[in-house]
Amino acid sequence: MTTEELKALPKVELHCHLDGSLSREFIESRLGRAVQPEELSVSDDCTSLAEYLEKFSLPGQCIMDEKGLEGAGYDVLKSMSQENVCYAEIRFAPLLSETESMNCRSVIEALLKGLERGKKDFGVDFGVITCAMRHHSQEDNSRMIKTAREYLGYGVCAADLAGAEASYPMSQFMELFTDTCKLEMPFTLHAGECGSVQNIVDSVKAGAGRIGHGIAMRGYADLQKELAQMGIGIEMCPISNLQTKAVQSTAQYPICEFLNADLKVSINTDNRTVSNTTLTKELQFIQKTYGITDEEILILMKNAADTAFAGEEVKEKLHRKLYIGR
């Protein structure tokens, strides 16, 4: 497909962090000053995840009150609408925006208000994924998930676990997500981004419906077969993974291996602004670098629709749009 065809293609995005995807214009309006591109985005020669994470400081400052959160929700759907994303799951960590004057419930409601306004103006359907953070206590994470559960079906669609995977393995969070299962709250988990295949095994055991990144599964054919049979979604974020050195080179990136294993792979941006990317750019990249065919791109979009934490009505609408897009 040409760039124009890829841009016009109806698209589904499942792995997009709110703070890493705020537009420069929005951040400048919130901070009240001009911001240089290098303050917000990593360069092509980014050396590590630590360097990558430095870029979240400024956007994080923009979502510390209700006005900022509402504006952020609107801003991210506006960006997505410009490349025909028709459904997006936006993830964020409510506890990182809590203040003395704004509790977890107020944080979630403020973001939902902005997203609802964005949906109305731009026609992008959405779901919110609330992230527990690996460095937070089980008590705080549990409190957040229980609060988010109250909004399930009312804008919130799932939970997640994010943060420093290498320092806090999934084995430490089995109880938290067993409890999340009991709440009948769906969840995806960041796992296998930093080299540990065991984190993927444990995430599936805990009941994850999808895996964020999952690249440590490379070379584990039996595990790939198991997850393919279970229909578990694999949210791949190619450009981000190369920038953070989750893989050392394009040759090591397992997208073709995963597609050949019939895994339910989707392609995502991870952080639009930090990675200086769009879904169109990600699709262009995998076509050019890995020879992904037009038919495979349609399969990737169908996989995203199939594994989305959306209601049946939204899924049916997505499948109709994707079919028409052919």
Give me the active site residues, please: 193
Question: Which amino acid would we find at residue 180?
Answer: T
From CA 50, how far away is CA 45, in angstroms rounded?
Answer: 13
| Tokens read off for 15 | 């792995």
Residues in a beta bridge with 187 = 159
d(CA 166, CA 195): 8
- Give the integer Cα–Cα distance in Å for 63 and 19: 8
- Report the C-alpha dihedral over residues 246, 252, 255, 257, rounded to 10 degrees: -130
Largest CA distance in the chain: 53
| Helix residue ranges per DSSP H, the chain | 3-8, 24-31, 37-40, 49-53, 57-61, 66-81, 104-122, 138-149, 174-182, 197-206, 221-230, 238-243, 255-260, 279-290, 294-307, 312-324
CA distance 259 to 142: 35
Q: Which residue has the tokens 């951040």?
A: 27
Enter the tokens of residue 46: 């980014």
